[in-house]
Amino acid sequence: MLNLPAMYRARRDDESGFTVIEVTMASMIMVIVLAMFFSTLVSLTSSEDRSQRLVSNEQNVRFELDQLARELRAANPIVPLPNATSAGDYSNQIEVVLGPSGGAQTVVRWTYDMSRELMERQLMSDTSASATVLAQSFYLNKVRNVEKGLPVFSYYGPQNQDLVAQALAGTGTMNNVPNCAQRVHIVMISDSNPGPVPFTETQDVEVRNRLPGNGGFGEC
C-alpha cells in the first residue's frame, strides 16, 4: 500500500504538461507550416488568375481581329484617310466603306491610339475631312505595338509591294496606299491585365473587291 507522499508524487507526475518552451516551439512550427501552405495556395491562385486573364484577352483580341478582317475583306473600297499627312499614318489607321455600290453604305474607321495603347472602331458620317463620328467603341486595351515599333496595318499591292514603304521612299504616292491595296497585313501585340509577356496575333486579309476580276485598283 502506497503511503500518502508517494501517492501525491505519482499523481503530480501524471498531471504534468508541456513546458512553455515546448508550446512555443510547437506554435512556431505550426505557423511556419501554415505560412508555407498559404504561400503555395496564393501562388497557385495567382498563376491561375493570370492564365485565365491571358486566355480571356487572347479570345478578345481574336474576336476583334476577326471582325476587323471581315470588314476589310468586304471593303468597297478602302478610302483615303482625310486626316493623313504622311503615308505612315496608314500604319495605325484604316477607313473602309461597307455596303453595295449604289445602295446603303456605312463608313467605318479603325484607329490605333498610340498614346492610350488602345484600338477603337468608329462609325463615321462620311469619308470627307469634315466627317463626324456617329458611334465609337473602345475595343481593345493594352495594344503594345507602339512599344515594339510595329505597325498595326501593312498594305500590299498587286505585285506584293509594300505600299507604305514605297510612298515613304518617294517611289509611290500616299494615295496609292488605299487605292492600290490588295492585301492588308494586321499585327496586334497585346497582353492580359495583369498578365505575362505580351502575345502577338496576326492576320493577312485579301480585299475581295480588289482581287483580279472584281474591280480595278483606283489610280495606281
- pTM here is 0.72
**What does the alpha-carbon distance between residue 161 and residue 167 come to, in Å, rounded to a whole number?**
11
**What does the alpha-carbon distance between residue 13 and residue 146 come to, in Å, rounded to a whole number?**
78
**Cis peptide bond N-terminal to 178, omega within 30:** no
Output the average pLDDT for the chain: 82
Within a 10 A sphere around the Cβ of 41, how many other Cβ atoms?
Answer: 10
Q: In what order do the strands lie in the sheet with 106-113?
A: 93-98, 106-113, 118-124, 133-140
- The helix (run of H) or strand (run of E) holding residue 155 is strand 153-156
Q: pLDDT tens for residues 146-180?
A: 998 999 999 999 889 999 999 999 888 898 999 89
- Domain spans of the chain? 61-210
**What does the alpha-carbon distance between residue 96 and residue 40 come to, in Å, rounded to a whole number?**
52
Q: pLDDT tens for residues 14-64?
A: 555 667 787 788 888 888 888 887 777 776 666 655 666 666 667 778 888
- Asked whether the predicted pLDDT for residue 212 surpasses 90, the reply is no
User: Is the pLDDT higher at 205 or at 49?
Assistant: 205
Q: Which residues pair with 204 in a beta bridge?
A: 185
